[in-house]
Amino acid sequence: MKVKEVLHRIMKISSDTSVAEAARIMSEKLTGSVLVEEDGDVIGIMTERDMMRKVVAKAKNANQLKVKDIMSTPLITIDANEDILEASRIMDRHRIRRLIVVEDGKIIGKVTANSISRNLKYLLARDTSMYSKTEYYGHRE
């Protein structure tokens, strides 16, 4: 299964947005990450984990911090035509839960560890079911 088959849209937010405002927007849009833009270029990603580790855990004021102050860089990307198993390997290697998906050098979305896990479970269940049916019918003939 290809990454482009399981990707999600990803929002962009200005690097000068306060962390508090970004958190409000993320909560409203039910997303765990946003790309950070500056002068039209994507310069990083801010995730729930960034907010927890760099703001909440350090008791910092989210209204005074800007997204660019806590974002993660560089972006870790994967080509849209790569297999989801490769996406999983990259996430494990970098200890991240999201990968930015690119196609022809342009960002087209993100893939998450959760979406990969769900789809791997589906593929495994489907393949196991097909194997079981083949074996069953094979013994009956």
Domain boundaries, the chain: 3-140
- The helix-helix angle for 84-94 and 113-140 (nearest 10°) equals 140
> Which segments of the chain does DSSP mark as H helices, in order?
19-29, 48-51, 67-70, 84-94, 113-140
**Chain segment 6-62, per-residue pLDDT in tens:** 999 999 999 999 999 999 999 999 999 999 999 999 999 999 999 999 999 999 999
Q: What is the CATH superfamily name and number for domain 3-140?
A: CBS-domain (3.10.580.10)
Q: What are the pLDDT digits (tens) for 106-137?
A: 999 999 999 898 888 777 776 665 555 545 44
Structure letter (DSSP) for residue 82: S
Burial of 102 (0-12, 13-18, 19+ CB in 10 A): middle
